[in-house]
Every structure is written in structure tokens, then in C-alpha cells.
Chain A
């Protein structure tokens, strides 16, 4: 057990130092991913980015904190939509509960985009398996900010990040 703890601690320290050094303006780029939307239509991430920056979030109908943050994300989708900003919610329900997703989204009157990822392949490509998982993407496909999990009060930071990105884009 002691040996395992030592291995874990070394690995953890190395990783966190490496990751901390990586915290720059951009955290990499996003691949162009095919999306199937809840209304049956198909598109890609880069097609959505043609309108403006995109905030992606991974969620499921059984994920409690995911549903808590969705209310705020819908507000931001509507508030900043005139600047081209959109929110894309990527649903992770498997075929076992996939049928309920659209009914849930409709009952909440959400306006943001929803795509389905029943075999979690989009989540795997973007390391979004821990939910909720927010990824803020600029129009050139660069990832500007990421965040895992949600606690009440974090919606303020989410909004600040969106406003900061839109503000940078305006100056450019």
C-alpha cells in the first residue's frame, strides 16, 4: 500500500506541475467533430463556430449538478446570442435512457443547442467524461477555458469567462 501511495503521489505531483505550466491563454485546439442534434439534424463543431464562440457542456438526465448548471447556461445562451455566442449541450445518456432527453429539454424550455453522444465518443475525444464538463471555444477552434464539475456560485465565473472572451474578440 505504501508503495502504491508513493507512486500515486509522484505521478500526481509531476502531473499537476506540468498542467499548471500549461495554463496559458489557450489550452489547445478542438478537432472538428460531427454532431447529431436533438432535432435529428446533423452539423459539425466548426460549422457552429462560424457564428461565434461556443460553450460546450457534457451532461446526462441522471446527473444532478449538470441539471443545476443548465439553467444558467441557458440564460447566457440567450443573453449573448446576439454576439454570435452559443451554448451546445452534449448529452451522454446511453440508448437505455436516450428517449427521455428531448422531453426533458423541451419541458425546461431551453433554447440552447443539444446534441446526443450515446456512446460517449465526443466526450472521449474532448476528455469530457466527468460531468458536467464545460469547454469554452473561440471561433478559430482554440479552447480558451475548461472547467469540471459544478457548485452553486460557479455560474458567476462561467459568465466572466464568456464576457472576457467576447470582449477580446471585439477588440480584435
Chain B
């Protein structure tokens, strides 16, 4: 840490001129700072402490940033008790220089988009330098440095893998309003870890990205287009006869991506359209999740548009699509505008699919065929996803009542285990018993022989896949009373279906050598069946989720919110081991307060329910503290197209404090 502080302070000391000690005089600098403290401790040991302090200071042409973090352990990620981030910037005339942790975005992120998203422990910044020269309409940027991005493995909280990139990148931008053009080049040498920490096994990969973007801003129409081409090569070494180490670069993967966005403005109405086709790898439906071993794909710098709705409701977020940034094409439309009485509406539609259809050759082998044209397909074996969302919001009762109601639905094919439709040679051997013995009161068959083999060609359909769909109705109401008080009510209802579908007239494999599918009924090969079974535990047909939230507050002072979230069946069954007084109060269980309940052996009606209460208080306009007690359901949490499984937080306390000064 001392070394990092010196790196920032040394050039500043030269600037301080006559009195270097003025560096430490707060009156010398202009500055602002922010603090965020978070603490949580639950009954089932989901404990975390995450604290960060940001200090920004500037004087003349210099700007600096320091971020200190003390997290042991954090909610997600590695423990850290150190200066986490630092950066010194100098700008004068057409030049600007940044030293330290750099975050840049070029175009819409097909080449480079660097962010720090604490919610999902994603940080792809570069520690190095960024140099920019801007003169009139031309801007040239060059940057270089190292990025380390952690990746979760089997553990839900602690990363087990780390990918290190040493990168160099250049961007040239021409700004001739209303046009804007950009050309980007990025090269990265990645050390890709293949095994969890403690077992160092890595591959060395070289990535090269060439991209360009153009945008046009009109009064009625905007257009944006971006393209990127990517080549990845595997770097290995061998020793030649002279004893020298020779580097060999072997082609690994190549791909490209296209993104288009246009907006049309008609008065107070806007029509938004997006198209994408990302093609950096082709992974069969069963290999999609194995990103550790499938290297050479889209790299961590590429944070690209997802083309589905960024949800702001937890239920809709849980049913969100897991974006496939390597192999996906799609479109998205959104119409938004004003209605009479000041109401607003937004209607959105999204359709995504893979770039190929996938067909099984055998239970473990696949072949793929490119989807024709440029649009996404509805074919099941291209894993399609469709989403529809509509919302209306506005004010009533003399602008005292704010309401928002929406309807969201989606459906997708998230998994395929087997998908074959065609002809196959059905191999069926007919056997007869040739030797048998009557012993006691039954026959024992001692030998048999094959008398014939039926190899007729049969139409075969054998499919095994999962279908998921959901619909959600959230309603929000907030009423502002006099004297700054307000009350709020939020309610959401959701149904989710996950169905395993098995259909066709054949099932597993009889003999790999024959490459034959086994008919379900050899005597009736033309009998096709379809079976649907729910993927939820205990064959529950579908999942019902409900949530009620009641809140009350005084403007600029305090707010209290009670959340009650319940489901009829969990995706992964977890048991809440404790029964806390808040739950008993909500369930109206008087026995609890009379001491007639065993708190460590909660009754069944407490399961599948999560109750929490949060109280927040503004100590001042720049300081806020909040306390949460109770339980929060775990599960899939998605942010910016990246999803993580968060473990449940049962019967615990969360404290958080934030301040700026």
C-alpha cells in the first residue's frame, strides 16, 4: 500500500513547488470524499463486512482518486484490506494523461467497456496508463496495462479463478457533428486459469480485436452501428535443438460481432430498436456453462448490449435471461410515450436465439447448422428467448398518488439434452433360447442365440429439453401525505413454469458403433409420444411467487419498509433453520410469544417465506444509515446481463451507512 501511495504522491510533490508539505494540507486541495459501510450477519453464517472510502482531490490540472477498502469478508469476492484503487490524472491543452486504474468505454462496448460493478463483483479496469490527444475534431487515445478479473467457481461467494490480461489498446475518434466515427484496436495477452486456486494450471492466449463504430444524431432519428472482429491464438513454447525457447502461436478461435441501434422520435413518442449478432464461439447446448475450459471466447473487456430489459423488480430479475455474449443474435423494440392525463407507457419486446440450430449425433455429440438470414429464429434447437413487457405509470389525486403497474412475460428454451429428428437405422436383434432346464417349478434358460437382426431404416424423433416461461404483475403505489409523510404499497405476483419435455419415438443409444437410437417400442416404430414433467421439486406443476411491501416515511428524515416474500416451491430447496420474532409477528403466531414454540425447530408454515424490515434514517442530507432485520430469499440475481446465484440471508441483521463530504 505504501508503494501505491508514493506512486500517486511523488508527481504531486513536484507540483507542490515551494512547499511540498502543502500536499498534506487540506486547504491546498479541493476534494470530496465518500464512505460506504456495510455489515451483515445471519443465523446461517452469511456474514460479511464491506467498507469503502473514496477520496477525490484536484488542483489546477491535476485530479486524483484513491479508494481504500476494508472488507473481511465481502458479500462477494476476495477479502481486501488495502488501497484498492488509485489514479492520478493530468490534463493540459490537447493532452491528458491518466496513471493508475483506468476505466474507458469506446462505442457501445464491443471492443472495450470497463466498469466496476460491486453487486456482481465485476471489475475489468486496467491498471496502467491512458494517454489522450484531442485537437478540434480528432481524438486519439492509447492505453496499456494489466487487468485481473475474478471468476466464481463452485463457491457462491469466493472466486476460484482469476484471468489476467496484459493489454494495449488504441482508439481514434472523429467528431464531426452530427456524425461521430471511431476506430479501435485492442490486443491482450491473457493468462487463463483452468483449475481453482492452489492448483495452478493456465493457458496463455493472445487476443486481437479490431473494431469501428459510427453514430449519427438527428432531430427525428438517431443511428448507431458498431462492428468488431476478433482473433485469438494459443501461445505455447518449445525448445529447439539449440536449446532456445521458441514461441508458437496457434489459431484458437475467431469471431465477429455486429450491433445496430436506431431511435425514432415522433413528438412525445419514441420508438427504440436494437439488433445484434454476436458470434465469437459455437458451444453445444450442453457445453455452454463450462466457460473455464472454453477459453478464447469473448474477453472480459467486451461488455456489450444485452438486448433485453434491464429489470428493476426482483421478481422480473429472477426470471431474466442469462445472456450468451459469445453466440447470440436478436432484436429488441421499445415504444414509450405519453398518454392523456400525464400518464406514461412503455411497451417492450425482445427476441433472441443462438446463431445455429443444434442437432444430436449421439447423446454426447452435436452438429450445428447456421440459422439462415440475419434474424433470430423460433427453432427450439436454437435456444430461443422471447420477452414482452408493458407498463403504465402516472399521478392521480392531484399528483399525490403515484402508481405504476406492469405486465412482464418471457419464455425460453434454456437447456437441450438431446435433439434429433431424421432417419436412423434401428438395430434390433432377435434372440431365441436354445437350452433350458425345468427345475423345481420353473424354467431356467441356460443359453440363447441371435437368429436375426432387423436393420430397417426408421423415421426417428428423439428430443429432451427444458422449456421455461413466466409472467409477472408488479404494482406500485405511493401516496404523499401532507407535512412530508408518504406511504407506499408494492405488490407482485409471478408464475414460473419449468417443464422437462421428452418427445419422439426413440430414447437412448443402443450401440455407439451403430450410431443408432433405440426405439421406444420396436413393434410400433411410428408411435410418437410426448411427456412433460415439471422441473420443480416434488413435481410441483409451477412456482407461484408473491411479494408485499409496505413502507412509510418522512421526507428527508426516515423511512421504514416491511417486506414479505413467499413462494410455494423453491428452485433449490433450502431450510430456514430459525424462527425469529418478526416472522412470528407477521404470521400472528401468539404461541411464539407465550414461549410455546421451539425456535430452533420452526413449524412448517414458516418455510418458503422471507420476512424483513428495514429502517433508514438520514442523519443529514449527505449521511444515511439503515438497518435491516429478517430474511432475504437467495437465488439468481442479475445485473447488466451477468447473473450470480446469491445464497439466502436467513434471520440476520444488515447495517449500512453511506456519506459524502
Contacts and interface: CB of A to CB of B under 8 A. Distances in A.
B268 interface: yes
Contacts of A129: 34
Contacts of A4: 39, 49, 72
Given A19-B622, A127-B660, A98 B305 contact: yes
B305 A154 contact: no
Given A15-B659, A61-B310, A8 B58 contact: no
B104 A119 contact: yes
A168 interface: no
Interface stretch (B112-120, B203-211, B414-422, B585-593): B112-120
16 contacts: A1-B47, A11-B51, A19-B620, A23-B620, A28-B32, A29-B30, A68-B402, A96-B310, A96-B640, A98-B305, A106-B265, A118-B109, A119-B104, A125-B56, A152-B553, A154-B556
Nearest to A23: B620
A27 B661 contact: yes
A107 B33 CA distance: 35
Interface in B28-53: 30-37, 39, 41, 47, 49, 51
B39 A5 contact: yes
B66 to A, nearest CB: 11
Contacts of A94: 109, 113, 115, 303, 640
Contact of A108 (B32, B338, B625): B338
A42 B175 contact: yes
B601 interface: no
A95 B620 contact: no
A153 B116 contact: no
Nearest to B101: A124
Given A100-B272, A157-B556, A95 B49 contact: no
Interface stretch (B291-299, B479-487, B516-524): B479-487
B337 A152 contact: no
Contact of B660 (A12, A96, A146, A154): A146
Interface string A78-114: 0000000000000001111111101110111100000
A167 interface: no
Interface string A122-148: 001111011001000000000101111
Contacts of A5: 39
A22 B661 contact: yes
Contacts of B41: 1
A12 B175 CA distance: 47
Contacts of A16: 619, 623, 659
B87 to A, nearest CB: 9
Interface in B328-386: 334, 336-338, 344, 346
B304 interface: yes
Contacts of B49: 4, 8
Given A11-B51, A64-B312, A96-B304, 10 more contacts: A28-B32, A31-B63, A61-B310, A63-B312, A68-B402, A104-B346, A106-B263, A145-B621, A148-B660, A153-B480
Contacts of A8: 37, 39, 49, 51, 655
Contacts of B344: 107-108
A121 interface: yes
B621 A146 contact: yes
B624 A149 contact: yes
Contact of B63 (A28, A125, A145, A157): A125
Given A40-B177, A124-B65, A157 B337 contact: no
A170 interface: no
A156 interface: yes
Interface of B: 30-37, 39, 41, 47, 49, 51, 54, 56, 58, 63, 65, 72, 103-105, 107-109, 113-116, 175, 177-178, 180, 215, 217, 222, 224, 261, 263, 265, 268-272, 274, 303-306, 310-312, 334, 336-338, 344, 346, 402, 476, 478, 480, 484-486, 553-556, 559, 618-625, 640-641, 655, 657-661
Interface of A: 1, 4-5, 8, 11-12, 15-16, 18-20, 22-23, 27-29, 31, 39-42, 61-64, 68, 93-100, 102-104, 106-109, 118-121, 124-127, 129-130, 133, 143, 145-149, 151-154, 156-157
Nearest to B476: A64
Contacts of B269: 107
Nearest to B116: A120
A126 B56 contact: yes
Contacts of A22: 661
B58 A99 contact: no
A23 B215 CA distance: 44
Contacts of B553: 151-152
B44 to A, nearest CB: 14
A8 B657 CA distance: 10
B661 A19 contact: yes
B328 to A, nearest CB: 13
A130 B658 contact: yes
Contacts of A146: 621-622, 660
Contact of A20 (B271, B346, B620, B640): B620
Nearest to B56: A125
B555 A95 contact: no
Contacts of A40: 177-178, 180, 215, 217
Contacts of A133: 660
B37 A12 contact: yes
A22 B620 CA distance: 11
Contacts of A118: 105, 109, 113
Most chain-B CB neighbours within 10 Å: which of A12, A27, A63, A127? A127
A107 B427 CA distance: 64
Contacts of A19: 620, 622-623, 659, 661
Given A100-B334, A147-B622, A153-B484, A127 B32 contact: yes
A109 B555 contact: no
A93 to B, nearest CB: 8
A96 B303 contact: yes
A15 B337 CA distance: 45
B426 to A, nearest CB: 49
Contact of A95 (B304, B346, B476): B304
